């Protein structure tokens, strides 16, 4: 490839654009993660006027939807999650017994995932079905990178390199699909949580919870952007090799 290919070869142009966007997208991902922490910390010191703790809010939300799951503890901060396999909601130390607006928003968001699972929400079910496939594929990603680089991955114009590019494209494609399905799942869980909170919290407190959940949702958007970029880079390399072979 030459510099002139940047203007004549669409695949080479796509790869160059993706490569140039990688660092800005990576920086955006870091900024978004910092925004989540700062927003949560801000509203995690804002007490809820009712004085009711986050776990109780989440439990009442579940009962209102006819869903019964157990709660467990998990260490760390913002490590809260719903485990559909065990039917449990794990709440972190900073959320579980807190009566702050931020903690209540996070706990009810996880309860929203439990409601999705109970009601067989399409995107939640699709995400769950993809988990073992994506985990297996992702476990192969780094070996693909390492072996492919050693055997010819660095050049998309060799037969071996092309095989590993295709393998990488498949892995990134599965990751992209998982990331895509995750977006509506996360936004819907927040929507369900906020809809419930509007019935039992003052509007200014609901607004605070919304800011926390919106900031958290942006991490999934940033992840989707990064995964899309990596997928396009693999696709561009494959197209480059096909264009070279057709000459």
pLDDT in tens, 5-42: 455 678 888 888 888 999 999 999 999 999 999 999 99
Using CA atoms, how far apart are residues 145 and 162, in angstroms rounded to an integer? 12
Phi, psi of 238 (to 5 degrees): -65, -45
Sign of CA dihedral 158, 164, 166, 169: negative
Mean pLDDT value of segment 107-133: 96
Residue-by-residue DSSP string for 28-72: HHHHHHHHHHHHHHHHTTSB-TT---HHHHHHHHHHHTT---EEE
Q: What is the pLDDT of residue 14?
A: 87
List the catalytic residue out of 110, 186, 204, 205: 110
What's the predicted TM-score (pTM) here?
A: 0.86
Residue 204 annotated among the catalytic residues of the structure? no
For the stretch 135-151, pLDDT in tens is 888 787 777 667 766 66
Rounded distance between C-alpha atoms, residue 153 and residue 105, angstroms = 46
Q: What is the DSSP string of 125-166?
A: HHHHHHHHHHHHHHHHHHHHHHHHIIIIIT-TTSHHHHHHHH
**Quick one: tokens of 157?**
């114009």
> What's the rounded Cα separation, in Å, for the pair 109 and 190?
5
N- to C-terminal Cα separation, the chain: 12
């Amino acid at each position: 490839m030459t510099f002139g290919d940047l203007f004549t070869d669409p695949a080479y142009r796509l790869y160059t654009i993706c490569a140039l966007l990688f660092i800005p997208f990576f920086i955006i991902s870091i900024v978004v993660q910092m925004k989540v922490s700062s927003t949560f910390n801000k509203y995690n010191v804002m007490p809820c006027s009712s004085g009711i703790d986050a776990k109780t809010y989440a439990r009442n939300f579940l009962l209102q939807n006819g869903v019964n799951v157990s709660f467990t503890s998990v260490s760390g901060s913002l490590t809260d999650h719903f485990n559909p396999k065990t039917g449990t909601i794990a709440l972190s130390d900073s959320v579980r017994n807190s009566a702050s607006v931020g903690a209540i928003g996070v706990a009810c968001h996880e309860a929203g995932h439990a409601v999705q699972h109970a009601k067989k929400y399409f995107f939640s079910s699709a995400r769950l079905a993809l988990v073992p496939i994506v985990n297996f594929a992702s476990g192969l990603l780094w070996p693909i990178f390492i072996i492919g680089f050693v055997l010819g991955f660095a050049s998309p114009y060799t037969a071996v390199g092309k095989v590993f590019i295709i393998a990488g494209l498949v892995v990134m494609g599965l990751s992209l699909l998982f990331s895509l399905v995750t977006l509506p799942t996360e936004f819907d869980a927040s929507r369900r949580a906020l809809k419930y909170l509007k019935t039992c919290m003052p509007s200014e407190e609901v607004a605070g919870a919304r800011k926390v959940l919106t900031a958290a949702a942006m991490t999934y958007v940033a992840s989707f952007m990064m995964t899309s970029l990596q997928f396009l880079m693999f696709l561009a390399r494959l197209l480059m090799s096909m264009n070279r072979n057709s000459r």
